[in-house]
Amino acid sequence: MIQEFVDRFMKNKDELREYFRIKKPNNYSDIVKMVVKLISPKDWRCELDYENIYEIDDGDYQGTLVYIIHEKCYQPYTYYAVKVSYGSCSGCDTLKSIISNYEYGDVVSREEECLKDYMSLALHIVQGIEEI
């Protein structure tokens, strides 16, 4: 876990929450992209390239996604990675469960619950980012 990234996430989490309120993520890639955009240090030599994150998916109905994140500069030197496990149904996949909970029942009463779940998932992603 990179504490600086977690601190930046916590400082700017309201911005991400509003983004999720307007545009619900459809996949883990959407969430990773927004998290990286949120935590990208603007005061570094190079910010993180949230537009060009590499995704490795060797799974099928279930598996692990690996996201490789690099700096947005000429010949980046520092790379980061985060792993996200996924399942085949809403019972074993966090994102599918959130989406399923949002789609069924009273959407208004479920929106805050789903936003809380999206933010929890985003925090776990940020906590899982490691320098490689």
Tens-binned pLDDT, residue by residue, of the chain (132 aa): 899 999 999 999 999 999 999 998 989 999 999 999 999 977 766 889 999 999 999 888 889 999 999 998 888 889 999 999 998 876 788 898 888 877 765 556 678 888 999 999 999 999 999 999
Please tell me the predicted confidence (pLDDT) of residue 46. Answer: 80
Structural domain that includes position 40: 3-131
Please tell me the predicted confidence (pLDDT) of residue 93. Answer: 85
107 CB burial (10 A radius; 0-12, 13-18, 19+): exposed
Please state whether 27 falls in left (phi above 0), alpha (psi between -120 and 50) or beta: beta
- Cα separation of 104 and 95, whole Å? 15
Please tell me the predicted confidence (pLDDT) of residue 107. Answer: 59
- Cα separation of 35 and 9, whole Å? 8
Domains identified in the chain, total number: 1
The answer to pTM > 0.75 is: yes
